[in-house]
């Protein structure tokens, strides 16, 4: 099977954008409707969003299913169908809550669970297909393109949905959500049509006859967990993403409580951070392109090392969070926007480095377990995001209770997050590049630029 060019990568990016379009409606738009229009407790949508992360613990099982079948496209399309259905049911549940709160809540639990399952099936298989068919020298750029298209899906859907939802009515909410969900599924179907081909490379390809042994999920999961690099990388993903997500819900309150930012100014500050994330992603992609172009150069060939960007991004994120700690202690006058921009750039570089590393590690242990590896790491990421916000806000509340000054309380939380990033850097650096004899045939290591 020929490697994917940029056109094929863009087609997978379209699917990722469609995935993001449905997710942003359920986790953002429906959140606002529940709290503002329906005057429900903010804890309710918070728990539903946490539920959609919690069910993503099924990602390894989804990855195993695609490993056994050997093809990823059916899982991508099926997952997008489940995701679209979950989006529609979640909107219907939100409308129903206005008249029948109990029944609406029960339907919302089902809807948000389907959203999580759909993301698990489609997102995991999409990453495995991307990892399988993208050459090593393009992985950083491919990860950047796909993630930027997902962010574009967030932004475009939020803007268009916001336009068509005014003036708000339950009927408009159902119409907009259903239209986005169905359109996203159809566009995804068209985007992946004929993209993968018909080669079977998973466990099914290794089975000589129907009577041969097909690995059970628990057996396959145990085999992957026994791989030292896969296990250590899972721990790295969990801790680093925990640190990454824990500051999301406290940055804007920090800017308002300590630095006197208005709601509009704090929202703009969040925009500065997102711009920094995009800049960091582009920086890694450009470095990878330079390394591929100058592969024979003794220095330039090394600047595309995703392992180095992962470790360096974690260290830079830790330093930026230490800056925010000082901003909490110093108060007004600290260059907060510049600090937040630096945090965004570091987060973006670390993210693409980690995703690119994930893409290589998934296949270096053998294609028959690529899906379950990617699923394991995706589940670790989802769990980290699900509890990261709770830990960040909970630690902030506890620090406020124990410490008299709000600046000192936030500084304590940022210091803890910085320590988590430093620990992540150590874990990333210590990922073994020299396998044990038992794992020699499934050698796995961080990506480095291709040799000339």
Domain holding 356, by residue range, is 213-433
Average pLDDT score, the chain:
84
Does one domain contain both 163 and 299? no
End-to-end CA distance of the chain: 23
Does one domain contain both 239 and 182? no
* Overall average pLDDT of the 360-379 stretch: 83
Assigned domain for 205 exists = no
Assigned domain for 393 exists = yes
Q: What is the pLDDT of residues 116-141, one digit of tens each?
A: 999 999 999 999 999 888 887 788 88
Q: Helix, strand, or coil here: 401?
A: helix
Cα separation, 253 vs 262, in Å, equals: 10
Assigned domain for 3 exists = yes
Does one domain contain both 230 and 90? no
- The reported pLDDT for the residue numbered 154 is 81
Q: Between 441 and 69, name the one with better pLDDT.
A: 69
Of 12-26, 391-405, 431-445, where does mean pLDDT reach its minimum?
A: 431-445
Per cent of the chain over pLDDT 90 is 41
Does one domain contain both 275 and 381? yes
**Would the pTM count as exceeding 0.85?**
no
Does one domain contain both 169 and 257? no
CATH number (domain holding residue 417) = 1.20.1250.20
Assigned domain for 312 exists = yes
Q: Report the domain count for the chain.
A: 2
* Residue 275 pLDDT greater than 90, yes or no: no
- CA torsion 270→274→275→277, rounded to 10°? 140
* Overall average pLDDT of the 307-328 stretch: 94
Does one domain contain both 172 and 224? no
Does one domain contain both 149 and 223? no
Last residue in a domain, options 171, 196, 221? 196
Q: What is the pLDDT of residues 36-71, one digit of tens each?
A: 788 888 778 888 988 999 999 999 999 998 888 878
Does one domain contain both 3 and 151? yes
Does one domain contain both 278 and 303? yes
C-alpha distances in Å from residue 52, one per residue of 23, 56, 94: 10, 7, 15
Cα separation, 142 vs 362, in Å, equals: 16
Does one domain contain both 25 and 122? yes
Q: Between 373 and 36, name the one with better pLDDT.
A: 373
Assigned domain for 204 exists = no
Q: Tokens 């206005």 correspond to what residue?
A: 98
Assigned domain for 151 exists = yes
368 touches 206 (CB < 8 A): yes
Cα separation, 145 vs 140, in Å, equals: 9
179 by Cβ neighbours in 10 Å (0-12 / 13-18 / 19+) ranks as middle
* Overall average pLDDT of the 327-340 stretch: 90
Does one domain contain both 232 and 119? no
CB atoms within 10 A of CB 165: 17
Does one domain contain both 56 and 134? yes
Last residue in a domain, options 145, 169, 196? 196
For the record, the structure tokens of 178 come out as 């259903």
Assigned domain for 451 exists = no
């Amino acid at each position: 099977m020929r490697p994917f060019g940029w056109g094929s990568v863009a087609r997978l990016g379209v699917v990722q954008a469609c995935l993001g379009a449905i997710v942003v409606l359920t986790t953002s738009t429906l959140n606002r409707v529940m709290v503002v229009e329906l005057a429900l407790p903010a804890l309710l949508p918070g728990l539903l969003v946490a539920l959609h992360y919690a069910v993503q613990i099924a990602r390894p099982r989804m990855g195993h299913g695609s490993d056994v079948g050997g093809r990823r496209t059916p899982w991508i399309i099926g997952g997008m169908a489940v995701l679209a259905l979950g989006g529609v049911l979640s909107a219907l549940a939100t409308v129903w809550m206005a008249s029948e709160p109990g029944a609406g809540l029960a339907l919302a639990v089902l809807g948000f669970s389907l959203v999580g399952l759909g993301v698990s099936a489609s997102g995991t298989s999409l990453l495995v297909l991307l990892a399988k068919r993208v050459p090593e020298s393009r992985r950083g750029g491919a990860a950047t393109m796909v993630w930027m298209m997902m962010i574009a899906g967030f932004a475009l859907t939020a803007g268009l949905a916001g336009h068509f939802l005014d003036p708000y009515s339950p009927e408009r909410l159902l119409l907009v959500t259903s239209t986005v969900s169905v359109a996203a599924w159809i566009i995804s179907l068209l985007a992946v049509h004929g993209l993968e081909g018909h080669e079977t490379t998973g466990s099914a390809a290794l089975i000589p006859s129907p009577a041969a042994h097909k690995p059970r999920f628990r057996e396959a999961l145990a085999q992957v967990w026994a791989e030292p690099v896969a296990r250590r990388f899972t721990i790295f993903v969990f801790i680093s993403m925990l640190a990454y997500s824990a500051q999301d819900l406290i940055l804007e309150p920090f800017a308002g409580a300590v630095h006197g930012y208005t709601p509009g100014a704090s929202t703009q500050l969040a925009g500065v951070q997102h711009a920094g994330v995009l800049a960091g992603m582009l920086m890694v992609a450009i470095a990878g392109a330079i390394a591929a172009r100058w592969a024979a150069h003794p220095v330039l060939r090394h600047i595309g090392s995703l392992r180095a960007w992962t470790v360096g991004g974690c260290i830079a994120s830790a330093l930026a969070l230490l800056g925010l700690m000082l901003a909490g202690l110093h108060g007004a006058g600290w260059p907060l926007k510049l600090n937040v921009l630096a945090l965004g750039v570091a987060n973006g570089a670390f993210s693409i480095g980690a995703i690119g590393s994930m893409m290589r590690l998934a296949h270096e242990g053998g294609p028959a377990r690529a899906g379950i590896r990617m699923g394991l790491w995706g589940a670790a990421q989802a769990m980290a995001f699900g509890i990261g916000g709770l830990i960040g806000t909970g630690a902030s509340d506890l620090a406020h209770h124990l410490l008299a000054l709000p600046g000192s309380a936030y500084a304590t939380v940022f210091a803890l997050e910085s320590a988590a990033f430093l620990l992540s850097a150590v874990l990333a650096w210590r990922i073994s590049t020299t396998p044990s004899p038992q794992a020699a045939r499934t050698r796995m290591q961080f990506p480095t630029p291709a040799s000339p």
